[in-house]
Amino acid sequence: MQFYANKDRLPLKTILFFAVILFIAFLPVSSFLFFLKNDAFTGYFPPKFFMSESIHAGYLPLWNPYINFGIPQYGDMSSGYWSPVTWLIASTAGYNAYTFTLEVLLYILAGGIGMYKLTSSWQLDKPVCIIAGLALMCCGYNTGHLQHFNWLSGVAFLPWCFWSYQLLLNQFSFKNAIRTALLFYLLVSSAHPGISISAFYFFGAYLIFHFFENKKQVSVAGSLQQQGRSHLILLFLFLLLAAGMIAGYLDILPHFVRSEKISLQDSLLHPSTAQSWISVLLPFATTKNDAFFNTDISMRNSYFSICLLLFFIVSLAGKKTKLQFFLLCSGLLFVLLSSGGLFKTIAYKSIPLIGYVRLNGEFRIFAIFSFILVGAIELNRHIKAKKSFSGAVKWIYYVLEVLTIVAIAYGLYKAVSTKQGLMYSNGRVFAPNGLPAKLKSLIDFISFYDTLWIQGIVQLLLLWVIKWCLRVSNWKLLQRIVVADMILATLFNLPFTGVGKASVAEVQQVLNQSPKHIPVPSLTPIQNNVAVPEEEQLMVGDWSFYNKQPGVLKEAAYPIVLKNMAAYFEQDRLTGKNIYTNRAFVFCTDSLVTAMSLGSFSPQQVDININSSHSTTVVLQQNHYPHWIYSDGKEEKPVNEYGINFMSAPVKSGSSKISFLFDPVVVKWSMLLSLLALLSCCLYLLFLRREKG
């Protein structure tokens, strides 16, 4: 497949088209009628919210004092801390329930437009490019993982990276190198580590493929010299951009529970099982029957349109381009990785970094991405060849049609024979008042057999129209059919995998109870920290993330766990006694201290005024971590350890001021270097664009 350097600017009309389809397909989310369920607000939102609150209070968000006695926020690999998008939103509009939801939608939109951009660079027909973009934007991976924020951000930048990397390999320039480095940095800094690891192998494999594909045009020595130079420059630029991120991750790894390779048993968790792949034809069926699919509901859906499925299968039966062959092999390998089992076991033992990926279903995005491209190339070849409804297309179409009819018949037969599902609900599905209650009732009543015949009927109707489009070569209508297909597939699945029954406004009402910015906390016992009702915590996560009062009674579920923090909570579980919760987050070991108050408070500094008749020790109930020092106004020293995981400092008799300060010097300088590199790269690209214009 020849790569063409097409125009940099995307037509505004195309961008608006994708935005409108996104709004309709994800209407429960885009209308703010329903909030993003489960991990979205309980796991991914809290660190972004803290960053926003800290920045707007005038502090650099380096240490988060509110998560389980404090963590270095810059070491959180799941929060998108180092993503420029996160910093842009946090420092401008700020994070709330609405901006967080919009960011999710923005990532989904960016992935669709990126796929359009990539396929356009191959000079595929515009309807095919739009079909490919819609297939990725509304694919089953996005629908299934709507709650997994950093999985969606990985999808967003994947096609953009492929587009820019291809351009760099074909035509080296500093512009291409800078743009590729920026896009790869956006991918790595915002995506889940598993996607970054997968991307390393995917693009590494593509580099090898490109090298052998072009060795006839350029000598081996010349190709090695050219690609070696371009990749050294690319690596140098990426390291500059990622300097802060690298320093932050290296800083936390020795103290992080998950810094080592996970066990083989844990590495086989949550695969995309073989039976899950019926989703490429019947995506709605994956919303029910947990026992059959034998994996989490979010790992099952891999749908990418019935049209591209048809032409993907056609490509298997016919002659393939070399690019199709590469993508097909890559996709199949990632299918095997995502399935866990024997292949993942072999990869765990023999392929570096694979043993750090815990959720295997994550790998399947590279399979879906590859299969969409294979199908799009095949569809474009069909259009260019001006073929009618005949040959392999015809016979594969009839196979899909028969499978669909079988699914309808089986679903109806089992629904009637078992008397399960909507037909036997006696109208109780729509009895509850209010849309959220009706939606919850529908989810409860619908059966696996219902999903088979409902999705089967939809797919059969779509197949009939696709057949007519192929016979009369009506490609614009085919494009519209794919639009309808992806909208319906998304809307069918969102209530089960993407949204909860509360509205975004209701979630924001809960968040409004959080004190603004970074207030000075009270010196009341930790056990008296403010909480909210359990049903509200189910929406936004543990309230200790939001009450702006350091300290917790019990461990709040969060992916970043420091080793000494884990030891503290393990002791608490074994003994059942948390001996410090009856004290404030700052206290003196001597109860005879005359007076103690907070002079000021920020995430990185706690100033304490103490008046004592004799020497004592002041304790800060924050996790002991490197870069914490204390100052008594005369000298600065590293803090002392207190207990398993807290910090302390000596206090002399009389009136004194003790300051605990968190000062990760290397991380801060590396962060500054990354910022300067980011600004320089963006300004350079902007200058070139204006000069060209």
Under DSSP, is residue 124 helix (H, G, I), strand (E, B) or coil?
A: coil
Indicate if the pLDDT at residue 621 is higher than 80. Answer: yes
**How many angstroms separate the CA atoms of 559 and 79, rounded?**
10
Question: What percentage of the chain reaches a pLDDT higher than 70?
Answer: 95
Task: Please determine, for residue 185, whether its predicted confidence score (pLDDT) is greater than 90.
Answer: yes
Q: What is the rounded distance in angstroms from the CA atom of residue 513 to the CA atom of residue 540?
A: 12
With tokens 């390291």, the residue in question is 239
The letter for the amino acid at 179 is R
Lay out the sheet containing 595-602: strands in order across: 595-602, 605-612, 654-662, 628-631, 636-638
pLDDT score recorded for residue 216: 62
Write down the pLDDT at residue 653. Answer: 85
| pLDDT of 578 strictly over 80 | no
Q: Which residue has the higher pLDDT, 475 or 6?
A: 475
Bigger pLDDT: 419 vs 178: 178
| pLDDT bucket at 362, cuts 50 / 70 / 90 | very high
Cβ contacts of 218 within 8 Å, gap of 6 or more: 226
Question: With 80 as the cut, is the pLDDT of residue 114 above it?
Answer: yes
Mean pLDDT across the stretch 144-161? 95
pLDDT at 650 over 70: yes
Residue that is written with structure tokens 């991405």 in the block:
369
Provide the pLDDT confidence category of residue 690 given band limits of 50, 70 and 90: confident
Q: Map residue 260 onto helix, strand or coil.
A: coil
How do residues 270-305 score in pLDDT, each as one tens digit?
A: 899 999 999 999 999 999 999 999 999 999 999 999
Give pLDDT, residue 318: 86
The pLDDT of residue 220: 64
Instruction: Give the H or E element holding residue 85.
Output: helix 84-91
Q: How far apart are CA 308 and CA 328, in angstroms?
A: 14
Closest of 424, 421, 60, 72 to residue 251, by C-alpha? 72
Contact, 523 vs 174, CB < 8 A?
no
CA-CA distance, 73 to 58, in Å (whole number)?
Answer: 16
Q: 8 falls in which pLDDT band (50, 70, 90)?
A: low
- Counted residue by residue, the chain has a size of 693
> What is the rounded CA–CA span in Å between residue 422 and residue 441?
10
CA distances from 177 to 158, 171, 230, 238, 692 (A): 16, 10, 7, 9, 18
Q: What is the structure's pLDDT at 1?
A: 56
| Start-end of H helices in 214-255 | 220-241, 243-252
Measured between alpha carbons, how far is 358 from 355 in angstroms, rounded to an integer?
Answer: 8
Residue 422 CB coordination number (10 Å): 16
Q: How many CB atoms lie within 10 A of CB 320?
A: 17
**pLDDT score of 222:** 65
Query: Residue 693 has what pLDDT?
Result: 56
Q: Which two tokens stand for residue 614?
A: 């004799």
Contacts 24+ apart (CB under 8 A), 348-356: 348/264, 348/267, 349/264, 351/201, 353/197, 353/200, 354/197, 354/267, 355/261, 355/262, 355/264, 355/267, 356/193, 356/194, 356/197, 356/261, 356/262
pTM of the complete model beyond 0.75:
yes
Structure tokens at 585: 């987050």
Task: Give DSSP secondary structure letters for 156-204.
Answer: HHHHHHHHHHHHHHHS--HHHHHHHHHHHHHHHHHS-HHHHHHHHHHHH
Best mean pLDDT range from 322-336, 338-352, 574-588, 594-608 = 322-336
Q: Which has the closest alpha carbon to 587: 514, 660, 519, 638? A: 660
- Who has greater pLDDT, 390 or 370? 370
Nearest to 334 by CA among 302, 310, 312, 379: 302
**Closest C-alpha among 334, 684, 293 to residue 497:** 293
* pLDDT at position 582 over 90: no
Residue 573: its pLDDT value, please?
78
Single-letter residue type at 228: G
- pLDDT per residue over 423-475, tens digit each? 877 767 666 777 777 677 777 788 999 999 999 999 999 999 999 999 999 99
- Write down the pLDDT at residue 544: 94
| Residues forming a β-bridge with 654 | 612
Closest CA to 44 of 3, 92, 19, 76: 76
pLDDT of residue 215: 65
Highest-pLDDT range among 369-373, 556-560, 646-650: 369-373
Of 149-163, 248-262, 430-444, 586-600, the range with the highest mean pLDDT is 149-163
Convert the pLDDT of each residue in 489-527 to its tens digit: 999 999 999 898 899 999 999 999 999 999 999 999 999
Q: Say yes or no to pLDDT of 4 above 70.
A: no
pLDDT given at position 75 = 94
Q: How far apart are CA 551 and CA 574, in angstroms?
A: 20
Q: What is the CA radius of gyration of the chain?
A: 28
Most confident of 223-232, 608-617, 655-664: 655-664
Q: How far apart are CA 103 and CA 118, in angstroms?
A: 22
Query: C-alpha distances in angstroms, 186 versus 189, 211, 518?
Result: 5, 25, 29
CA distance 314 to 391: 10
Q: Are 88 and 265 in contact (CB under 8 A)?
A: no
| Predicted local distance difference test score (pLDDT) of residue 388 | 80
Phi and psi torsions of 49, nearest 5°? -65, -45
pLDDT of the residue at 654: 86
Q: How far is residue 38's CA from residue 303's CA, in Å, rounded to a whole number?
A: 22
The pLDDT assigned to 221 comes to 67
Residues 203-232: what's their mean pLDDT? 81
pLDDT value for 13: 94
Q: What is the pLDDT of residue 7?
A: 57
Percent over 90 (pLDDT), the chain: 72
Mean of the per-residue pLDDT values for the chain?
91
Copy the structure tokens of residue 356: 């750090």
DSSP character at residue 434: S
Model confidence at 656: pLDDT above 80: yes
pLDDT value for 688: 85
For residues 421 and 444, what is the distance between their CA atoms, to the nearest angstrom? Answer: 9
Instruction: Cite the beta strand spans of 539-690 per DSSP E.
Output: 586-588, 595-602, 605-612, 616-620, 628-631, 636-638, 640-642, 646-651, 654-662
* Helix H or strand E encompassing 21: helix 12-25
Highest mean pLDDT (candidates 139-143, 350-354, 430-434): 139-143
